[in-house]
Amino acid sequence: MSSFELEIWDDETEKVTFYTVRWENSDISETDKFFEKSIRIDPSSTHELLSLVIDTIGTDYGAIDDFFNRQENTVTALPPHGRVTVHELKIHFPQFPLRLYALRINKRKDMVILFNGGIKSGQTNEQSPDLNLKFHEANAFAKKIEMALQEKLIVIDEASRTLKYFNGSDEIIL
């Protein structure tokens, strides 16, 4: 897996600091790629999903279970728990087409990493080619991030509700 940077996507909401990932050779984060793409395809669903992220989760409730669907993927190479949990942001509207993948840092309600996502075009996520690819990609990101947390390559700064590199830097490249 190529290197990527873990960077703040939104730290202006009251309850959550949102991070995203950006490939080192890219100018734009994966979450921004997702929103740029989805706003062209389905503006109204994109508005709703963004409002869920920023208003409902970021401002009103924090990253509580009610808004995260469990999408578990077993990763045997990740001791000691042996698994990483990537979530799908859950918007409670029938037939909502967009899926955005996320990782709650240490299951906290105040720190979330957003990845990319896609449109559920098939009956299941697996039958939606674009989405399936992004799900596996999100898992690869999540696995590397969780490993870095376990090895204390990145640490949580409670005071500022941010992640820091082990040397105290805000620039986190994994």
Partner 1 sequence: MRSKIAQRILDETPKEVRIFVRKYGDIVVRINQLIREKGYTQKQLAYEMKKTPSEISKWLSGNHNFTLRSIAKLEAILGESILQASVPLLKPEVFILSLQSGESQNFMVVRGQRPFSGKTKIYQAQSETSFSISELVEQYN
Secondary structure class of 15 (helix, strand, coil):
coil
Q: Which of 26, 56, 71, 162 binds partner 1 (CB under 8 A)?
A: 56
Closer CB to partner 1, 2 or 95, in the complex: 95
3-state class percentages of the chain: helix first, strand second, coil last, to nearest 5? 35, 30, 35
Minimum CB–partner distance for residue 31 and partner 1 (Å): 7
Piece of 59-67, 78-86, 125-133, 162-170 that binds partner 1 (CB under 8 A):
59-67
Which residues of the shown chain bind partner 1 in the complex (CB under 8 A)?
Answer: 8-12, 20, 28-29, 31-32, 35-36, 39, 43-44, 46-48, 50-52, 54-56, 60-61, 64, 66-67, 90-96
